[in-house]
Chain A
């Protein structure tokens, strides 16, 4: 199956901007979706498609894509944004239907 690679951890000062990247061959063919997961909770969709936010997700979350890399940007990070973030896309290898990224732990300082 394909792989989606993310940096294990990033930190951001309160109110500043952080970008989380996701790299993989599948992203040349498919858009990524992004999920936020806080400890002990189920994942929550934050970005899907080209750059769409579900209702209830703050507009400080945005997504973009170029080549084999998808990015999730948090502009003006808040304390409540501290969480694990996972990207996901269809699997271009043909073996699996979907693949998740390795996950990024975001710490808000």
Chain B
């Protein structure tokens, strides 16, 4: 069964740091691009960051650029998101998701269950 399991969420003070992890199983992790998508309480989905299969290509949303770092360890079938200088507006459920497709068509499947990050003093 293809599965993604996030961990590492929690309560952190503004300006603090947190590292999220996503453990993948049931597929060849090293063959796929991976992504982080977040959802603030009661709000819609927001793409956060993507990393290609070999880490050659990395992209960030403007809202997190310079503060968040995406990485992966293909030997450990794991995806990470290092979040620094956290702000209240980063409070959200963070999902990891596998992406597939080609130039004209991309999709996210599957998604993990999400991990909640709360930034509050």
On A, residues with C-beta under 8 Å from B are: 1, 29-31, 33, 35, 37, 42-45, 48-50, 54, 86, 88-90, 95-103
Contact = CB atoms under 8 A, between A and B. Distances in A.
Contact of B104 (A30, A102, A103): A30
Contacts of B35: 98
Interface string B46-78: 110010000000010110000000000000000
A71 to B, nearest CB: 16
Contact of A97 (B44, B47, B105): B47
Contacts of A44: 111
Which of A33, A89, A98 has the largest count of B CB atoms less than 10 A from its CB?
A98
Contacts of B11: none
Contact of A96 (B44, B62, B95, B110): B62
28 contacts: A1-B61, A31-B104, A31-B105, A33-B107, A35-B45, A42-B111, A42-B112, A43-B95, A44-B111, A48-B105, A48-B109, A49-B101, A49-B105, A50-B105, A54-B109, A86-B44, A88-B45, A88-B107, A90-B106, A95-B62, A96-B59, A96-B62, A97-B47, A97-B59, A98-B35, A98-B106, A100-B37, A100-B47
A29 to B, nearest CB: 7
Interface in B89-121: 95, 101, 104-114
Ranked nearest first, the 6 interchain pairs of A and B with the lowest CB-CB distance are: A33-B107, A48-B107, A45-B109, A31-B105, A97-B59, A98-B47
Q: Is chain B's binding surface mostly helix, strand, loop or mixed?
A: strand
Given A86-B44, A102-B44, A103-B45, A42 B107 contact: no
Contacts of A89: 106
Nearest to A31: B105
Contacts of A97: 47, 50, 59
B105 to A, nearest CB: 4
A59 B113 CA distance: 25
A54 to B, nearest CB: 6
B45 to A, nearest CB: 4
A1 B95 contact: no
